[in-house]
Amino acid sequence: MSEKTVECREDTAPEVEDRCNKCSKKDTACISFFAHENAMMHKDTDNERSHRTTLFVCITFIIITLIFVIAYTFRMNSFLDTIKEMNAVIVQLANAKGVISP
């Protein structure tokens, strides 16, 4: 195998990497295994951080939605109870005056 046919890749062995450094027709840059692992470790850390952030945003959205739904339900129940009490008072007053209740 001649030196010009050796392709530079990320997973090259040390002896092939030496020939790759001498190659005049490099398509991609040669990178060491440790530099590659370091870059992948940082990428994994970034991915974990973004997944955690996405999870926190989704949980926050669900909690805020629950707060609004619970508050709306409580307010509507209070409103309906008030309407029932008002209707009961209207019926009592109508019966006291001898008027037919609505």
**In-domain check, residue 45:** yes
Out of 26-30, 48-52, 88-92, pick the least confident. 26-30
**In-domain check, residue 98:** no
**In-domain check, residue 61:** yes
**In-domain check, residue 95:** no
In which domain, by residue range, is 11 found? 3-75
pLDDT in tens, 31-77: 888 998 999 999 999 999 999 999 999 999 999 999 999 999 999 99
User: How many domains is the chain built from?
Assistant: 1
| Backbone torsion region of residue 98, taken as left when φ is above 0, otherwise alpha when ψ lies between -120 and 50, otherwise beta | left
Place 94 in a pLDDT band, splitting at 50, 70 and 90: confident
**Selected residue with higher pLDDT from 3 and 41:** 41
**Cα–Cα dist 69/38, whole Å:** 47
pLDDT above 70 as % of the chain:
68
Q: What's the confidence (pLDDT) of residue 4?
A: 45
